[in-house]
Amino acid sequence: MNTLETQKETWKQIWTRKGNADSTVTDLLAYDGYEATQVDMEEVARQIIERLDIRKEDKVLEVGCGAGALAQYLDCDYVGVDYSPTLVKKHIEFLNHSVLTGEAADLPFKDNSFDKVICYGVYLYFDNKEYAKAATEELLRVAKKGVLIGEIPMRSHREEHLLFQKDDFKDWDLSDGFYDPYRKDRFNALYVFS
């Protein structure tokens, strides 16, 4: 086995590969990494809408939007951003949303561009805490009313996942993860501007 074969695929490579898969809109959960789960994304969306108080007229940014597994259930003025160009392409192809390729820690938007910002199920894929801190600052920078970061892991079945503690989100309103609230190994962080 040569050196290239022994190297692990990076998260970015994994998401690019997933976006290149030949499938249909019915596979949005698989594109976005939920293929081996029992997640009810429509219910997750309902809970996010309720917690963040998303209204039809709100301009909402989803950071780490993937192919649109969550976005398909949001009824608002939606914009998405993801670092995988192949998933961005699938998202546009399937849902016809306004979606851009970009990094969570360097968002291509002006200050206060969106009423509300969502970043769901993404923090575990960041390379390190410094990147996560920069991403959090960016989410807050572009939001006017509120930010919800969902499914932040405290434990994981994969050593590649970046882990956090609730203390990493001081001054945020914390709740159990929407995904599997009975395991208590993930949490959500909500920040509402006063």
Average pLDDT over residues 57-76: 96
pLDDT of residue 39: 80
Average pLDDT for the chain: 88
pLDDT of residue 28: 75
Q: Which of 104, 110, 103 is nearest to 144 (CA)?
A: 110
The CATH code belonging to domain 39-192 is: 3.40.50.150
The pLDDT tens digits of the residues spanning 118-168 come to 999 999 999 999 999 999 999 999 999 999 999 999 998 888 899 999 999
d(CA 44, CA 169): 21
Compute CA distances 176 → 32, 34, 98, 166, whole Å.
21, 19, 30, 11
CB-side neighbour CA atoms (13 Å) of 46 = 5
Supply the DSSP symbol for 62. E
Global pTM value = 0.87
Q: Which of 63, 59, 105, 104 is nearest to 80 (CA)?
A: 63
pLDDT of residue 54: 98
Pairing mode, strands 77-82 and 59-63:
parallel
